[in-house]
């Protein structure tokens, strides 16, 4: 159905364009280099024959595959993001292609002794006999979410080349800055004009998700006082030592590396400090809204208690909500999830319906009035040097998109 070399070449083309976003830049998009891929995609979409191809001033790309039906059905959409995570460099990505993988350890970088081993990443063993695309050990790969971009473009191209496959109007959108939490901020739902959509932004084959974390960021600023250490008694206030106490005051088992499924967490992801000032950067996550609110309250309560004990206002906590659990927006229209589950089963995929331990553009879009569950894109170990994707998973994801279009045309 889908040509293996063609989809591989397209994916490699996209991942070798650096589109890393920047969480510290308020501009939109947060990096100029995201425009580089956006302009390539505009040309690709025009070349395959999509209509209404548009790149707006905020780096959103929208396009239409017109209906070939003589009756009305729902307009559906597919969404993916073009940026890659700032957690690990996406510059000079050099994809390695491993044909007919046999369950062995893959040497990513011989010089630096970096390997991808099934002894540690046992998911690899699911893909024996398949073609695996990896990094060279020095960058991330960018399958999150250039796999999703590749799959959507390839599916649209396939439908255009096979007009015998009946489908309604299909809208697609590629967004910037998803990895820094802004991907849906300026998304024009009315202009997009779909009844519902799907983000192609999940991980391993079969994932189908309509629940995600409620999410917030927290900045904990701790003020100290610097004096000469030889004369510091009763005068110096070491913000780093207070920060250490603050960190230990949070529940020690409620961190990403010790939680799973619906369990929430506090994640300390950055520390900058000296005696005079220390800043702790947290993300707060929980699927349950009440527990989410309690987590935010706990941070504030710890800061309040510390300030009371120290008899000074030395700790300030700033919390910003990022996105909310889309479940409440999807459950009333669960047929849009049922469609995907049916398609997966029909093409031999076992659906893995589970909560997202993270977020996608779909969570924000659902709250903006565009119900938007999440479908697998096929990659593993996102945001790091051990990221990889089986080509066969990208092919299956593309088949899911085509299958959804066909099924909606019959509704």
Known catalytic residues are 83, 178
3-state secondary structure the chain: CCCHHHHHHHHHHHHCCCCECCCCCCCCCCCCCHHHHHHHHHHHHHHHCCEEEEECCCCCEEEEECCCCCCCCCCEEEEEECCECCCCCCCCCCCEEECCCCCCCEEEECCCCEEECCCCCHHHHHHCCCCEEECCCCCCCCHHHHHHHHHHHHHHHHHHHCCCCCCCCEEEEEECCHHHCCCCCCCCHHHHCCCEEEEEEECCCCEEECCECEEEEEEEEEECECCCHHHCCCCCECHHHHHHHHHHHCCCCCCHHHCCCCCCEEEEEEEEECCCEEEEEEEEEECCHHHHHHHHHHHHHHHHHHHHHHCCCCEEEEEEEEECCCHHHHHHHCHHHHHHHHHHHHCCCCCEECCECCCCHHHHHHHCCCCCCEEECCCECCCCCCCEEEHHHHHHHHHHHHHHHHHHHHC
Residues paired with residue 203 on neighbouring β-strands, in sequence order: none
- Classify residue 227 as left (phi > 0), alpha (psi -120 to 50) or beta: beta
Task: Collect all residues with Cβ–Cβ distance below 8 Å to 114 and sequence separation of at least 6.
Answer: 107, 108, 137, 138, 385
- Name the CA radius of gyration of the chain, rounded: 23
Which backbone phi and psi does 283 adopt, to 5 degrees?
A: -115, 145
């Amino acid at each position: 159905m889908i040509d293996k070399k063609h989809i591989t070449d397209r994916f490699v083309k996209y991942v070798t364009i650096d589109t890393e976003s920047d969480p510290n830049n308020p501009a939109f998009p947060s990096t100029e280099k995201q425009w580089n891929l956006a302009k390539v995609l505009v040309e690709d979409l025009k070349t395959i024959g999509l209509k209404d191809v548009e790149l707006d001033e905020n780096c959103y790309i929208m396009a239409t595959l017109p209906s070939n039906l003589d009756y009305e059905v729902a307009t559906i959409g597919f969404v993916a993001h073009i940026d890659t995570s700032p957690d690990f460099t996406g510059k000079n990505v050099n994809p390695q292609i491993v044909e007919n993988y046999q369950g062995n350890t893959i040497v990513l970088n011989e010089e630096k002794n970096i390997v991808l081993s099934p002894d540690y990443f046992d998911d690899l063993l699911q893909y024996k006999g398949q073609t695996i695309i990896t990094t060279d050990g020095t960058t991330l790969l960018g399958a999150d979410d250039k796999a999703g971009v590749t799959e959507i473009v390839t599916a649209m191209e396939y439908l255009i080349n096979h007009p015998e496959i009946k489908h309604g109007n299909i809208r697609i959108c590629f967004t910037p800055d998803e990895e820094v939490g802004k991907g849906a901020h300026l998304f024009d739902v009315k202009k997009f004009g779909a009844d519902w959509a799907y983000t192609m932004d999940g991980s391993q084959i079969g994932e189908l998700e309509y629940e995600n974390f409620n999410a917030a960021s927290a900045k904990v600023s701790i003020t100290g006082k610097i004096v000469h250490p030889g004369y510091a008694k009763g005068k110096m206030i070491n913000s780093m030592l207070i920060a250490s106490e603050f960190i230990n005051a949070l529940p020690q088992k409620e961190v990403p590396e010790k939680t799973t499924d619906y369990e929430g967490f506090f994640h300390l992801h950055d520390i900058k400090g000296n005696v005079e000032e220390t800043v702790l950067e947290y993300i707060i996550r929980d699927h349950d809204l009440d527990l989410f609110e309690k987590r935010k309250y706990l941070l504030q309560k710890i800061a309040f208690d510390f300030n009371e004990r120290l008899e000074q206002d030395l700790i300030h906590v700033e919390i910003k909500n990022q996105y909310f659990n889309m479940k409440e927006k999807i459950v009333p229209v669960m047929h849009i999830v049922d469609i995907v589950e049916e398609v997966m089963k029909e093409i031999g995929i076992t659906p893995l319906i589970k909560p997202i331990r993270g977020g996608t553009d779909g969570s924000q879009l659902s709250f903006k009035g565009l119900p938007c569950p999440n479908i697998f894109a096929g990659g593993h170990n996102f945001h790091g040097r051990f990221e990889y994707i089986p080509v066969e998973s990208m092919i299956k994801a593309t088949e899911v998109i085509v299958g959804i279009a066909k099924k909606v045309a019959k509704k």
